[in-house]
Amino acid sequence: MAEVARVLENGRVVVLSGAGLSTESGIPDYRGESGSLRTHTPMTYDEFTGTAAGRRRYWARSHLGWRTIARAHPNDGHRAVTALHSAGHVTGVITQNVDGLHQAAGTGPVVELHGSLDRVVCLGCRRTSAREDLDRRLRAANPDFEATATRINPDGDVDLPGDVVRGFRVVGCADCADGVLKPDVVFFGENVPRPRVDECYRMVGEADGLLVLGSSLTVMSGLRFVRHAAKAGKPVLIVNRGETRGDEHATILVDLPLGAALTDLVDLLGA
């Protein structure tokens, strides 16, 4: 971490964070040692948009899972990123996470590469609304909904028995009456909006380095920014538990728990 600190001393470093940063807040990652992809199949865009049964499955499970995500609190890693940003060592944050914990820790602005579970978008009229509003409507539509989450996934999904899912009532858009509501997140098989991608490229292009925190970089949505920084000759610093798909591009690799490592980084920089 002392080597990472030396790069950050001059500032102008952009953070790219992944699910590994939020595991210490009780939200599991997808691909770590106990990653949810080992036992969980995430909702795909085609399944959600193509079948009413798929949407019912998603909203029944997410209705319960979102409550757990909403109760999560920022951990030492999130607070360290906020301190580094406030001290000028970090100029911007790009996150692959949809949990809003960077903002809850006081970091801003944050580019949410994959969107946020706190928002809902209508696929008909395209209006967005707060997830809390939908939660109230779903509670009213399902007053007898009783279930317990045994495992929460990074996308806010949980496992539920089939009979519980089949009895769940989904509601439509409150503005256009019959529009399909979707969480304002990028599902598997869905593309990140181009303007958002361009904004991230701009941030990385204007920075002097890229600090990757808690991401395996398995999917191209994050890896492309690592490749972009490396191609431009900028230092790429990766702090993650285990190997990542971007290790070959890394200037510095650190395999440590994120909360403790980033707290040490803040101390080293006096931030």
Please name the amino acid found at residue 92: G
**How far apart (Å, rounded) are the C-alpha atoms in residues 255 and 271?**
22
**Per the annotation, does 32 bind a ligand?**
yes
Residue of 8, 9, 23, 82 lying closest to 236 (CA atoms): 8
**Per the annotation, does 103 bind a ligand?**
no
- What is the CA 231 to chain-centroid distance, rounded? 25
**Per the annotation, does 34 bind a ligand?**
yes
**Per the annotation, does 10 bind a ligand?**
no
63 is catalytic: no
**Per the annotation, does 26 bind a ligand?**
yes
**How far apart (Å, rounded) are the C-alpha atoms in residues 205 and 213?**
18
**Per the annotation, does 28 bind a ligand?**
yes
**Per the annotation, does 24 bind a ligand?**
yes
**Per the annotation, does 18 bind a ligand?**
yes
Tokens encoding 216? 């395996």
**Per the annotation, does 17 bind a ligand?**
no
Q: What is the pairing mode between strands 115-122 and 128-130?
A: antiparallel
Catalytic residue among 78, 85, 114, 249: 114
Residue of 23, 42, 41 lying closest to 32 (CA atoms): 23
Please name the amino acid found at residue 203: M
**Per the annotation, does 214 bind a ligand?**
yes
Please give the backbone phi and psi of residue 99, each rounded to the nearest 5 degrees, phi first: -95, -10
**Per the annotation, does 154 bind a ligand?**
no
Residue of 4, 44, 27 lying closest to 186 (CA atoms): 44
Dihedral-angle region of residue 7 (phi above 0 means left; psi in -120 to 50 means alpha; beta otherwise): alpha
**Per the annotation, does 129 bind a ligand?**
no
Please name the amino acid found at residue 100: G
ω into 109 cis (within 30 of 0): yes
**Per the annotation, does 137 bind a ligand?**
no
| Active site residues per annotation | 114
Task: Write out the binding residues for Zn(2+).
Answer: 122, 125, 173, 176
Task: Write out the binding residues for NAD(+).
Answer: 18-38, 96-99, 214-216, 240-242, 258
Task: Write out the binding residues.
Answer: 18-38, 96-99, 122, 125, 173, 176, 214-216, 240-242, 258
